[in-house]
Amino acid sequence: MLDTDETTALDNLIPLRVTDLKEYEYCPRVVFYNTVMPVERKTTLKMERGKDEEFRLDALEKRRSLKRYELASGKRSFHVWLESKRLGLTGKLDLLISSPRGYFPVDFKYSQSRPHRNYAFQLAGYALLVEEAFGAKVETGFIYLLPAQEVVAVEVTPRLKEEAVERLAAIRDMIKDGILPPPTPFRNRCEDCEFRNYCGDVF
């Protein structure tokens, strides 16, 4: 049972979303602009296409076997809302597969390239939430790449989960300090960013 100090600490956690893990790894300023200094977001063509593809995929996935996930059987649950007061974390998982082999989070991504590290962190966040919600260990998740409809297995290691928790702490420190963090060193990420107009030191 938690004592009073522990309960107060949990209540004082700045609430975060699983997508904050992905965005912070991609560029810390995205999370800053979403939390510390909320600004108007510009919807990109990629974002719109992603929504359309996910809507279409929902219908297709319900009729398909689990062979592409290398699972013989299992139950699919779409758009699963997950929450952890202990982590101060919430998220809506695109797809959760529960099978005799365990629980497998699946995240849909509209991308032409292989999954990057920021996607792995988002999957780790979902894995942590699934573990807490269902009392089961999650060791593998999947990234479903659209529009190619390719499934990529991602090993969710204990170290990856630890790093995800460490990043949650770093994000909260950034929010508390309220100081604009450095931009991503990968300038190609800035080209299509919906916040590019607010980074005067980059453009």
Residue-wise pLDDT for 170-194, tens only, equals 999 999 999 999 989 988 888 888 8
The answer to whether position 25 is within a domain reads yes
The answer to whether position 18 is within a domain reads yes
* Residue the block writes with tokens 């522990």: 6
Cβ(21)–Cβ(168) below 8 Å: yes
More confident residue, 172 or 12: 172
CATH number of the structural domain spanning residue 96: 3.90.320
* pLDDT (0 to 100) of residue 45: 53
User: Per-residue pLDDT for 137 more than 70?
Assistant: yes
* pLDDT (0 to 100) of residue 114: 77
DSSP helix, strand, coil percent of the chain (3-state; round to 5)? 45, 20, 35
Q: pLDDT-based confidence at 15, cuts 50/70/90?
A: very high
**What total of structural domains would you count in the chain?**
1
* pLDDT (0 to 100) of residue 55: 55
Q: Is the bond preceding 15 in cis, omega lying within 30 degrees of 0?
A: no
Q: Which two tokens stand for residue 202?
A: 């980059």
The answer to whether position 52 is within a domain reads yes
CA distances from 107 to 2, 19, 151, 179 (A): 33, 11, 10, 31
The answer to whether position 75 is within a domain reads yes
Residue 49 main-chain phi, psi, to 5 deg: -65, -40
pTM of the model: 0.84
Domain holding 11, by residue range, is: 4-198
Burial 111-147 (b: 16+ CB within 10 A, else e): beeebbebbbbbbbbbbbbbbbeeeeebebbbbbbbe
The answer to whether position 143 is within a domain reads yes
In sequence order, what DSSP letters do the residues of 1-17 get, joined into one string?
Answer: ---HHHHHHHHTSPPEE
Q: pLDDT-based confidence at 43, cuts 50/70/90?
A: low
* pLDDT (0 to 100) of residue 8: 44
Burial 149-168 (b: 16+ CB within 10 A, else e): eeeeebebeeebbebbeebb
**Angle, helix 158-177 to helix 18-26, in steps of 10 degrees:** 80
- Amino acid (1-letter code) at residue 162: E
The answer to whether position 203 is within a domain reads no
Q: Between the CA atoms of 153, 156, 159 and 163, what dihedral angle is there, to the nearest 10 degrees?
A: 100
The answer to whether position 193 is within a domain reads yes
